[in-house]
A and B are shown apart, each in its own frame.
Chain A
Amino acid sequence: MPNLAERNKNEIEFIEQIFRASSSMLSRIPNIRTRQETAIKRVTELGFPQKSSEDWKYYDSQPILENFFTLDICEINKLDKEIIRKHRFPECSENLLVTVNGHFSKELSSTSLANKNISIIDFNDPEQLKTHPQEEEIINQYFAYKINQEKSFFKACNTALMSNGFLLSVPDDTEIQETIQILHFSNESCFNQTRSLIHLGKNAKLKIIVSYIGLANNHFVNNAVVELILSEGAYFKLDKIQDDTQQGILLYDLYARLMKNSNFEYNSLDLKANHSRDNIKVDLLEPGAHSDLSGFYILNKDRKAHNIIKVNHLAPNCTSNQLYKGIISDSARAEFNGEINVSEGANGTNATQLNKNLLLSHNAHIDSRPQLSILADDVKCSHGSTVGELDEDEIFYLLSRGIKKDDALAMLTLSFCEEIIQKVTIDSAKQHIRNLTLENLDTKIHTANTVHKLK
């Protein structure tokens, strides 16, 4: 192990625990197992993320260390079906995938999924692969892609420690009409590794709505990794709802690889976790690929949300948009760190990036860093960020129609994020998101002219 002496005691202990735990987590599928072994090496080589690294500058990872509890890798726990009924969206009741503490549960997932033209492969079930040679090929090619060069410590941890995540694969020329819902539950105080690989064949179409739900009352960390491959002409829509308890920490790593003329829409809704860190990387690898990333975070108390986004234009004539909005109150903090990287030869790129924030208290804080790097010609790029408060005249307009101040503030806040909520595929999810947003609103909202107190 390199240089461990230089790191602090907690970090050493953390890595040693991962090292010990990983031996019992190795998959029975040889190709996955090999990569897990590489991942363990990467964990020790990379070491716990340091503040000196640009991507971790604003993120305080000490709570992860300090609260590092037992670092148990929880077994799949019993989960009352009633809880699933409470969290599933009615539109998706027949298309449900469930994981508990990072373990994929066939029993809790909808059986009707098997009748659809989708393959769902458990990462720890070699028997299943025997009858799915194509899926085996996908796993060989894409699972833990280039793990020996992996830069993310937590992603390497996930690969080392995950036991049964799943591959979800849609064959060529297949359109799945209904939206699939994935529920990731955490119901124990532990370090959960949630893992999925999603592969869309040529011209395949799929919509997924994912919720990360924390049921534990104690601290826990959900370390989630999603790898995504969109083949030529594929379309994929992903809504991600962070619906954890306020005790939860969500580390979310999404890596999307987009082939020719494929289209990826991603919408992230950070609503509840104590703190979250999203690391989103999109590679536009072939001409005509398009990605639309959007999201909003609503933070109160001392909660934190970090969005680290990299969109890499690696081929000509690709397009991409980023639109992130945030509402931050009390002493909450947010970070938006977005990059557009246009590589040499990626001519004809068209890329936009915008981050808008509402700060609703004097102690609320945002670090917004929209960044552009362009090494090609004939490129159209725009980026920007805004930080503001609720508009006093808009509040007055609503008051002048008889609407109470609290209601007016709630309306205007929802109005600010409605643009993002509208992108969500499922109607009942939209309403759920609005409700969670209002729950998080601090009524003592600070506006541009608090000196003019509305008596």
Chain B
Amino acid sequence: MTETILEVKNLEANLEDGDKILKGLNLTIKAGEVHAIMGPNGSGKSTLSKILSGHPAYKVSSGSMNFLGQDLNELEANERANLGLFLAFQYPLEIAGVNNLEFLRMAYNSKQKYQGLEEADPLDFDDLVESKLEILSMKNDFLNRNLNEGFSGGEKKKNEILQMLILEPKLVVLDEIDSGLDIDALKAVANGINAYKNAGNAILMITHYQRLLDYVVPDQVHVLSEGRIVLSGKADLALELEKKGYDILNAKLS
């Protein structure tokens, strides 16, 4: 039987003291699967990614999120990450004065330590990073810059994927990883995702556009609307949405 990586049941969540954003969301992701979530603006897509990864501004009011047999709600954001959950941010933050390479090593060693594995010394870690840079056609000088500081939109997204490749998570949530990318950057990012993908891990892509799905083909496409998944299908559902827009929801659901 294939391992279940994420199981979300009847999840309801809201902003602290704010409106309900997720209203009974169900989603099951198994090892080896690629899922895509599409949906109109304001449907709760980005919120879902933040709730899964433990952003403190959101509160789960009911339902459950089970990740590799553990209740995510019981874990802090850094513990979720160390357990193997990775969120690639739609808008990665610029942190001045924090060296990119040192940051990567710190994140890597946090995970190693948490999982009871040996921490990497700087030299071994350099080798690991360089092998991943190639996959993304990134230059070495990326590493000596400050974390995302002054990076272009494409460079920031590549840096997210670089972190993902180094941390080797079990589940990746890609929040609009394709926004703001030119064709070359999109290809490099897709290369990274495909290099990461294997039978033991899983991908959840949040996107507005079909074009990413040409490069990373999903097993399942879900449509999120008003805080719950209203429609699921195969990869061709994304094509249909691209052609006809979200109006088809009304026809299909009625």
Contact = CB atoms under 8 A, between A and B. Distances in A.
A451 interface: yes
Nearest to B73: A455
B233 to A, nearest CB: 30
Contacts of A408: 78
Nearest to B89: A397
Contact of B110 (A391, A393, A397, A401): A401
Interface string A377-417: 00000000000000111101111111111011001101111
B74 to A, nearest CB: 9
Interface in B18-73: 53-57
A414 B92 CA distance: 19
Contact of A419 (B17, B97, B110): B97
B96 A402 contact: no
B170 interface: no
A449 interface: yes
A394 B16 CA distance: 18
A452 interface: yes
A439 interface: no
Contact of B114 (A394, A400, A402): A402
A399 B77 contact: yes
Contacts of A399: 54, 76-78, 81
A454 B93 contact: no
Contacts of B17: 451
Contacts of B87: 400
B16 A451 contact: yes
A122 to B, nearest CB: 42
A453 interface: yes
A418 interface: yes
Contacts of A418: 96-97
Contact of A449 (B57, B76, B89): B57
A453 B110 CA distance: 22
Interface in A410-442: 411-412, 414-419, 422
Nearest to B85: A400
B95 interface: yes
Consensus secondary structure, chain A interface: helix
Interface residues of A, number: 31
Max chain A Cβ within 10 angstroms of own Cβ: one of B54, B55, B167: B55
B221 to A, nearest CB: 25
Contacts of B16: 449, 451-452
A273 B84 CA distance: 45
A414 B17 CA distance: 32
A401 B166 CA distance: 11
A252 to B, nearest CB: 26
A415 B95 contact: yes
B158 interface: no
A415 B103 CA distance: 12
A452 B111 CA distance: 25
Interface in B136-170: 163, 167
B106 interface: yes
Given A393-B93, A407-B106, A400 B81 contact: yes
A447 to B, nearest CB: 9
B237 interface: no
Interface of A: 391-394, 396-405, 407-408, 411-412, 414-419, 422, 449, 451-455
Ranked nearest first, the 6 interchain pairs of A and B with the lowest CB-CB distance are A418-B97, A452-B56, A402-B110, A415-B97, A399-B77, A402-B81
22 contacts: A391-B93, A392-B56, A396-B54, A396-B77, A397-B92, A399-B54, A399-B76, A401-B81, A401-B163, A402-B110, A402-B114, A403-B78, A403-B107, A407-B106, A411-B98, A416-B96, A422-B97, A449-B57, A452-B16, A452-B56, A453-B56, A454-B76
Given A402-B110, A412-B95, A455-B76, 11 more contacts: A392-B56, A400-B53, A401-B78, A402-B81, A403-B78, A403-B107, A405-B78, A415-B95, A418-B97, A449-B57, A452-B56
